[in-house]
């Protein structure tokens, strides 16, 4: 055991130097910890009540918990002492862990806590009551006899070692290892269980028969628990910390933090924790997100699976074949039955040549085909030569592949339009505003904001594009304008109008970024209004009538994260999208966010508050419109229709909001768009603190972290948020209500709803984009 970090060394080397006494008091008090976790929007068991003294205990009625499970804990208890899992049998009897008490006997037990019998600080204590954690389905296998937990030790924002503690019948549901509580070592990098400590013996290669199924089992939500652990360490200022997690029906819940991290974790991991701590002692990591790759590479016992480095091919996938300046929509199939590659003559004109097939990022070079005219628009590829690919045994889910009819474009203009399309698309990607709106000192200013309970005007720092890069983009836009738009030649193709509008939008975006970089408030105000329009007084008046911070939602019951996950999966299956990946994540700006590329993913926020009636609305918005339109956009090769036309976001949200409201109860409106419109008007005359107080009034039950994010939406890119000038407001959020009113008006006037589903264009473009452009 020479490699063990012993008690004295742990105290002298890590606890005393790195854990300030005043910050350790936070970890010692579970109630203070719960308040911090609530402010940070970090999941934890819900606090139900607090009993402060014997007088309150004497008059306390446990009737409110009748026929319910709850947990009683000391506020400053240590190592599972006097934690009772309780069930109120009736008004006079309570089952506490494995004993049954009448109310009088039970209160005598609780009184021992108040008399600091189990207090870590040997001083008066409090009792708190919290919800009982119900294990998630995939975590339940570890909780046969009581709730298992996952312990993570973090140092310098880096999680360095982890284990899972498994209660057994022999352990009498206590955490005492001498009573045969089982520990499983977790590999930090691979999320897998790799070792086991049981009855003073370590198992690595083969586990005992009763537990052999646990070997290499992957722990769910691992990334999220690690990220949260680092964030908590950042905000508590405790630089040697252990955190205990359990995975509930809702999400991973943080049970406890402790500033005096124990040493038993070294046993199950068979490694001296001091070795790991030395590796990261001198690292200067200023943000929790920076260590993600560190723990994956430094502390992983397993190498990354080499198969994940391979490209993937489906048995069948649609794509575009390009050769000799010709583009063709085709289907590419993997053929296990033949020993040659086949194609029809209408696709491959010369079978003596070799061709290059590109499927997304996959390139297959020097491939020859034999003729098979029965295949029509299909290529079949023989499996020999595909050794470096993983073959996914299903079809890729893109259906109804349209072919753009080039006859509708004037022949001599086609090459010009394609050049313009490609160049504008490249510039548009460089001017992606969303990539540079998050401050580089976000965590530090959030810390200050929470420390001052919201009474703090942050001073943000941003990483703007360099002057050289902005000058290069400006030069490209100027050249495109001179070459295509400032000449006397009259183009006949209707697409040019869309390109012209897009070019103007990109000019405005460039000027807005330059204005923010210089903090030139008059130019910020000017280009915000050119891009997102001025506030409409009539819509503002309507918005004010919709605001009611005390309105109750009648949207049925609140859904758990697991229920949200299942409903999203069911909805995707109904839309013939069974292979779309679903990921539950932390720190998302929306409750459900769809990433529509490489690969398509539906991200669910772990802190989502979604009601039963809301889920249909959200799915109709995010998937029923955003995903369906995305698939439709991929049916042609014009990038301006695949990516965005002028003001595409507003046009996109028009349809999404209007479609989603059809799934809500009668007379219910999505007031968020009205509230954002109102807050834009208030942000014009408010500093960060003033706007924070308005948002607190509007959302009285929201946590400080969410209020901070909401205020930032309207003060993006402003470095000193103490300014109250109207020029310091970001206008983008007002387009949701603007767009909703326009699409509503269009449909109420008899407009064809189905005309809006194909690509990223707006209502005004319909006169140019006719449905007969698709054959």
Alpha-carbon distance of 116 to 95, in angstroms, equals 23
Alpha-carbon distance of 234 to 290, in angstroms, equals 12
State what percent of residues in the chain have pLDDT above 70: 73
Is the CB of residue 593 less than 8 Å from the CB of residue 603?
yes
pLDDT in tens, 82-98: 788 888 888 888 888 77
* Axis crossing angle, helix 21-28 with helix 30-40, rounded to the nearest 10: 90
Instruction: Enter the tokens of residue 656.
Output: 């999404």
Give the range among 287-291, 305-309, 763-767 with minimum mean pLDDT: 305-309
pLDDT in tens, 559-570: 888 888 888 888
- The CATH code belonging to domain 137-298 is 3.30.470.20
Alpha-carbon distance of 257 to 232, in angstroms, equals 9
- Kindly indicate the confidence band of residue 300, based on its pLDDT and cuts at 50, 70 and 90: low
Residue 154 dihedral angles phi and psi, to the nearest 5°: -120, 145
With CA atoms as reference, report the closest residue to 710 among 536, 449, 508: 449
- Kindly indicate the confidence band of residue 610, based on its pLDDT and cuts at 50, 70 and 90: confident
Highest mean pLDDT among 256-265, 420-429, 505-514: 505-514
Is the CB of residue 623 less than 8 Å from the CB of residue 602?
yes
For residue 335, is the peptide bond before it cis, meaning its omega torsion is within 30 degrees of 0? Answer: no
Alpha-carbon distance of 411 to 312, in angstroms, equals 37
CA–CA distance from 500 to each of 143, 340, 484 (Å)? Answer: 63, 47, 9
pLDDT in tens, 424-442: 888 988 887 777 777 888 8
For residue 748, is pLDDT > 80? yes
Average pLDDT over residues 256-278: 79
Give the range among 77-91, 205-219, 439-453, 679-693 with minimum mean pLDDT: 77-91
CB < 8 Å & 24+ apart, contacts of 740-746? 740/653, 740/654, 740/657, 740/658, 740/673, 741/539, 742/654, 743/654, 743/655, 743/657, 743/658, 744/658
For residue 614, is pLDDT > 90? no
CB < 8 Å & 24+ apart, contacts of 678-685? 678/540, 678/543, 678/544, 678/547, 679/710, 679/714, 679/733, 680/535, 680/714, 680/729, 680/731, 680/733, 680/734, 681/535, 681/540, 681/543, 683/714, 683/715, 683/728, 683/729, 684/726, 684/729, 685/724, 685/726
No. of helices (H) and no. of strands (E), the chain: 25, 24
Give the range among 232-246, 247-261, 291-305 with minimum mean pLDDT: 291-305
* 424 vs 632, residue with greater confidence: 424
For residue 556, is pLDDT > 70? no
Give the CA-trace dihedral at 732, 735, 737, 743, to 10 degrees.
-160
Q: What is the pLDDT of residue 40?
A: 72
- Kindly indicate the confidence band of residue 324, based on its pLDDT and cuts at 50, 70 and 90: low
Q: What is the pLDDT of residue 401?
A: 30
For residue 403, is pLDDT > 60? no
Q: What is the pLDDT of residue 394?
A: 46
* 412 vs 189, residue with greater confidence: 189
Q: Using the Cα atoms of residue 293, residue 296, residue 297 and residue 303 in order, give the sign of their dihedral.
A: negative
Average pLDDT over residues 521-532: 90
Beta-carbon contacts of residue 247 (< 8 Å; ≥ 6 apart)? 135, 136, 138, 139, 150, 220, 221, 253
Q: What is the DSSP string of 136-168?
A: -TTTGGG-SSS--EEEEEEETTEEEEEEEEE--
Query: What sections of 159-272 are H helices per DSSP?
Result: 222-236, 265-269
Give the SS3 label for residue 451: helix
The number of residues making up the chain comes to: 775
With CA atoms as reference, report the closest residue to 627 among 609, 650, 606, 603: 603
Is the CB of residue 741 less than 8 Å from the CB of residue 661?
no
Q: What is the pLDDT of residue 651?
A: 61
Give the range among 536-540, 709-713, 738-742, 756-760 with minimum mean pLDDT: 756-760
* 13 vs 88, residue with greater confidence: 88
pLDDT in tens, 168-207: 877 655 544 445 678 899 988 778 899 998 887 899 989 9
Give the range among 182-196, 348-362, 640-654 with minimum mean pLDDT: 640-654
Q: What is the pLDDT of residue 373?
A: 78
Alpha-carbon distance of 704 to 696, in angstroms, equals 9
CB < 8 Å & 24+ apart, contacts of 207-216? 211/182, 214/184, 216/192
Q: Using the Cα atoms of residue 196, residue 198, residue 201 and residue 205 in order, give the sign of their dihedral.
A: negative
Q: What is the mean pLDDT of the chain?
A: 77
Is the CB of residue 391 less than 8 Å from the CB of residue 334?
yes
What residues does each domain of the chain span?
A: 46-132, 137-298, 307-396, 558-610
- Kindly indicate the confidence band of residue 337, based on its pLDDT and cuts at 50, 70 and 90: low
pLDDT in tens, 723-737: 888 788 998 888 888
Give the range among 135-149, 386-400, 593-607, 680-694 with minimum mean pLDDT: 386-400
């Amino acid at each position: 055991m020479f490699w063990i970090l012993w008690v004295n060394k742990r105290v002298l080397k890590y606890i005393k130097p790195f854990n300030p006494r005043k910050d350790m008091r936070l970890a010692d008090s579970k109630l203070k910890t719960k308040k911090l976790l609530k402010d940070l929007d970090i999941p934890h068991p819900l606090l139900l009540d607090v009993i402060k003294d014997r007088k309150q205990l004497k008059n306390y009625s446990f009737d409110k918990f009748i026929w319910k499970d709850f947990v009683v804990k000391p506020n400053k208890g240590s190592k599972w002492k006097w934690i009772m899992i309780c069930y109120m049998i009736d008004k006079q009897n309570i089952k506490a862990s494995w004993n049954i008490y009448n109310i009088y006997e039970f209160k005598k037990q609780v009184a021992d806590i108040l008399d600091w019998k189990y207090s870590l600080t040997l001083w008066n204590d409090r009792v708190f009551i919290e919800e009982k954690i119900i294990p998630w389905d995939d975590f339940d296998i570890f909780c046969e006899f009581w709730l298992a937990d996952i312990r993570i030790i973090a140092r310098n924002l880096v999680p360095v070692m982890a284990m899972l503690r498994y209660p057994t019948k022999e352990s009498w549901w206590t955490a005492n290892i001498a009573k045969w509580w089982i520990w499983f070592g977790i590999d930090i990098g691979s999320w897998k269980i790799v070792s086991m400590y049981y009855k003073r013996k370590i198992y690595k290669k083969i586990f005992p028969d009763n537990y052999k199924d646990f070997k290499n089992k992957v722990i769910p939500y691992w990334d999220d628990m690690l990220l949260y652990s680092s964030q908590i360490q950042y905000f508590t200022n405790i630089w040697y910390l252990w955190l205990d997690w359990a995975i509930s029906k809702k999400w991973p819940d943080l049970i406890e933090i402790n500033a005096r991290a124990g040493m038993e974790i070294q046993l199950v991991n068979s490694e001296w924790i001091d070795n790991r701590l030395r590796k990261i002692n001198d690292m200067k990591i200023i943000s929790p997100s920076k260590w993600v790759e560190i723990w994956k590479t430094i502390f992983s016992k397993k190498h990354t699976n080499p198969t994940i480095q391979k490209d993937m091919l489906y048995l069948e996938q649609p794509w575009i074949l390009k050769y000799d300046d010709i583009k063709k929509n085709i289907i590419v199939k993997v053929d296990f039955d033949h020993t040659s590659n086949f194609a029809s003559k209408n696709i491959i004109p010369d079978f003596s040549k070799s061709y290059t097939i590109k499927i997304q990022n996959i390139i297959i070079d020097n491939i020859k085909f034999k003729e098979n005219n029965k295949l029509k628009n299909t290529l079949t590829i023989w499996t020999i030569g595909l050794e470096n690919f993983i073959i996914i045994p299903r079809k890729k889910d893109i259906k109804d592949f349209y072919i753009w009819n080039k006859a509708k474009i004037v022949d001599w203009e086609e090459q010009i339009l394609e050049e313009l399309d490609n160049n504008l698309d490249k510039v548009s990607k460089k001017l992606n505003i969303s990539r540079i709106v998050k401050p580089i000192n976000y965590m530090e200013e959030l810390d200050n904001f929470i420390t001052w309970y919201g009474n703090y005007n942050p001073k943000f720092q941003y990483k703007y594009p360099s002057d050289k890069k902005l000058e290069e983009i400006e030069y490209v836009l100027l050249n495109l304008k001179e070459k295509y738009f400032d000449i006397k030649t009259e183009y006949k193709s209707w697409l040019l109008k869309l390109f012209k509008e897009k070019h103007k939008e990109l000019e405005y975006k460039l000027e807005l970024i330059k204005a923010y970089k210089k903090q030139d408030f008059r130019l910020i105000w000017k280009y915000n209004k050119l891009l997102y329009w001025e506030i409409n007084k009539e819509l503002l008046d309507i918005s004010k009538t919709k605001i009611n911070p005390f309105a109750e939602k009648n949207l049925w019951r609140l859904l758990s994260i697991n229920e949200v996950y299942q409903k999203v999966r069911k909805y995707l299956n109904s839309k013939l999208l069974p292979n779309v990946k679903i990921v539950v994540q932390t720190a998302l700006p929306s409750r459900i966010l769809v990433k529509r590329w490489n690969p398509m993913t539906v991200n669910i926020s772990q802190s989502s508050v979604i009601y039963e009636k809301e889920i249909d609305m959200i799915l109709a918005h995010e998937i029923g419109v955003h995903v369906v339109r995305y698939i439709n956009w991929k049916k042609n090769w014009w990038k301006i229709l695949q990516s965005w036309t002028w003001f595409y976001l507003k046009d996109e949200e028009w349809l999404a909001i209007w479609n989603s409201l059809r799934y809500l109860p009668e007379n219910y409106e999505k007031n968020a768009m009205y509230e954002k419109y109102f807050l834009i008007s208030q942000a014009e005359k408010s500093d960060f603190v003033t706007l924070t107080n308005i948002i607190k009034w509007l959302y009285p039950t929201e946590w400080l972290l969410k209020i901070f994010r909401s205020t930032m939406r309207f003060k993006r890119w402003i470095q000193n948020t103490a300014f109250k000038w109207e020029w310091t407001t970001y206008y983008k959020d007002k387009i949701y209500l603007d767009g909703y009113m326009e699409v509503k008006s269009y449909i109420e006037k008899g407009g064809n709803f189905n005309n809006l589903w194909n690509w990223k264009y707006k209502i005004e473009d319909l006169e140019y984009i006719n449905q007969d452009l698709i054959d």
